[in-house]
Amino acid sequence: MHRSLNPLMRSLSVLQRCVSTPSTAIVSCRMQSAGGQHMPKKLQGKVALVTASTDGIGLAIARRLGHDGACVLLSSRKQKNVDRAVHELRNEGLNVEGTVCHVGNSEDRKRLVDTALQLFGGIDILVSNAAVNPFFGNILDSSEEEWDKILDINVKATFLLVKLVAPKLQERGGGSIVIVSSVAGFSPFPSLGPYSVSKTALLGLTKALAPELYPLNIRVNCLAPGLIRTKFSSALWENEAACEHTLNSMGISRIGEPEECAGTVSFLCSPDASYITGETIVVAGGCHSHL
């Protein structure tokens, strides 16, 4: 879906795909929750917003939330990636929409939230998954600009998105937020010092947000993946020497797949996790995970 398409056109497009006669797009997500003869899926009727969800872990999370019944708004920086991911998941029969969102851009964050409200009528789930790493080397060689970028995208944008979305979750009577950190947040990856520190900050952000959001019935949890096979991590596994070095430092001696993170996020967003908040689940094949 193109970012310049006006809200009415988008709503019409959702309607055409999802329902034959009802008067609003919102009905499409709620209608599913009414269920048929089948047992409702665990996220049926929920609306999920997932950042950086056109590839890797974010795409796997979006797919899994969709298969578990949620309507999902996909997003990333590039329109062509958004279009490809939306097409791919719709071909699996999932109820997804997409919009461009560079999480470091406040207008993009606002449009992401507005788009979810316009197309799906509310938000129940936020998965904050976007991160960058512009620096590889000894931490003392990293520059102020690199720190600014890492902290802006990985930490500050996560907080600002939560701030924007929390009132929308409250309007629905509560909801669930999952922040994607990393096992590097517990034990810094060699040569990835600033990135690792930003991921430690997300463990803290989860702890700081959770108590403030208890009263609103909003749970905030965190996922800490280990080494997962994606473009982002390819420098750590794409050549044999790097791969061997990496595998030696791991418990389960293989690289994880994005799908192995997705089920944990779906669980955290589901009623099965209704008494879990402020926690981090490590999905890292046994890697060291204590501060």
Q: Does 182 bind ligand NAP (CB under 6 A)?
A: yes
Q: Which is nearer to ligand NAP, 26 or 202 (CB)?
A: 202
Task: Assess whether 275 carries a catalytic annotation.
Answer: no
Q: In this structure, which long-range contacts are made by residues 171-174, counting pairs with CB atoms below 8 Å and at least 24 apart in sequence?
A: 171/122, 172/122, 172/123, 172/124, 173/217, 174/216, 174/217, 174/218, 174/219
Q: Which residues contact 124 (CB under 8 A, 6 or more apart)?
A: 46, 47, 48, 70, 169, 172, 175, 176
Q: Which residue has the tokens 């463990």?
A: 203
Angle formed by the axes of helices 26-34 and 7-18, nearest 10°: 30
SS3 290: coil
By beta carbon distance, the residue nearest ligand NAP is 56
Binding ligand NAP (rule: CB under 6 A), the pick from 42, 67, 77, 207 is 77
Count other Cβ atoms within 10 Å, centred on residue 267.
18
Nearest approach, Cβ of 278 to ligand NAP (angstroms)? 19
Q: Is 225 among the residues that bind ligand NAP (CB under 6 A)?
A: yes
CB closer to ligand NAP, 120 vs 186: 186
Residue 98 engages ligand NAP in binding (rule: CB under 6 A) = no
> What secondary structure letter does DSSP report for 188?
P
**266 near ligand NAP, rule: CB under 6 A:** no
Among the listed residues 14, 15, 25, 57, the single contact to ligand NAP using CB under 6 A:
57
What residue has token string 């947000």?
A: 209
Of 11, 95, 115, 230, the residue at the interface with ligand NAP (CB under 6 A) is: 230
Give the phi and the psi of residue 98 in degrees, each rounded to 5.
Answer: -145, 150
Q: Is residue 178 close enough to count as binding ligand NAP by CB under 6 A?
A: no
CB of 81 to ligand NAP, least distance (A): 4
* Choice from 232, 243, 249, 289 touching ligand NAP (CB under 6 A): 232
Q: Cα–Cα distance between 286 and 235 in angstroms, integer?
A: 21
- Measure the CA–CA gap between 288 and 291, rounded to whole angstroms: 9
Closest approach, Cβ 270 to ligand NAP, in A, equals: 20
Residues in binding contact with ligand NAP, number by CB under 6 A:
29
Which residues of this chain interact with ligand NAP, rule CB under 6 A? 51-52, 54-58, 76-78, 81, 101-104, 129-132, 153, 180, 182, 225, 227-228, 230-233
| Residues designated as active site | 195
